[in-house]
């Protein structure tokens, strides 16, 4: 017979199974949190990119006819075409920002679901631990009284 009630409890197959499920869920929660953090960092980069593109877009409004001719000579496009390109870039960045917001919100929900599962399993594990320790002490007492 095992000499320690906690050793008895930790060696029990059901207790081990619940502990493994909890460990797996903690790993999953860390992964989800990391994905959420990466989306937040991506949002920051996209926001800075959006600011830079907007600044370029606004400078196109100040282009004079002489500047426009030089721009067309070196790039093949007028300031109007460049403004349209920058405008489209702003639209695409905004779309990507919305996608990142969805990821962040979804990961928040996912983390809450996993957290609830962990809490539930911890309650189940604690109850099983109480039962196993009681069983150990009952067997121990029966052995002593025999």
CATH label of the domain that carries residue 41: 1.20.120
Q: Is residue 108 part of a domain?
A: yes
Q: Is residue 70 part of a domain?
A: yes
Q: Which domain holds residue 67?
A: 16-131
Per-residue exposure over 58-97, b if at least 16 CB sit within 10 Å of its own CB, e if not: eebeebeeeebeebeeeeeebbeebbeebeebbeebeebb
Q: Is residue 52 part of a domain?
A: yes
Contact assessment for residue 107 and residue 38, using Cβ atoms and an 8 Å cutoff: no
- Looking at the 3D structure of the chain, how many domains does it have? 1
pTM of the model: 0.76
Q: Is residue 32 part of a domain?
A: yes
What is the tens place of the pLDDT at every residue in 9-64? 999 999 999 999 999 999 999 999 999 999 999 999 999 999 999 998 888 778 78
What's the mean pLDDT in 73-85?
A: 88
Q: Is residue 137 part of a domain?
A: no
């Amino acid at each position: 017979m095992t000499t320690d009630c906690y050793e008895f409890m930790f060696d029990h197959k059901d207790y081990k199974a619940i502990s493994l499920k909890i460990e797996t869920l903690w790993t999953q929660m860390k992964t989800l949190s990391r994905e959420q953090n990466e989306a937040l960092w991506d949002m920051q980069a996209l926001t800075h990119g959006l600011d830079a593109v907007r600044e370029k877009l606004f400078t196109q409004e100040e282009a004079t006819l002489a500047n426009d001719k030089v721009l067309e000579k070196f790039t093949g496009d007028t300031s109007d075409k460049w403004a349209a390109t920058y405008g489209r870039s702003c639209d695409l960045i905004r779309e990507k920002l919305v996608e990142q917001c969805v990821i962040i919100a979804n990961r928040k929900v996912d983390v809450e679901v996993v957290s609830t599962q962990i809490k539930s399993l911890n309650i189940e594990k604690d109850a099983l631990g109480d039962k196993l320790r009681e069983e150990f002490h009952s067997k121990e007492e029966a052995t002593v009284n025999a």
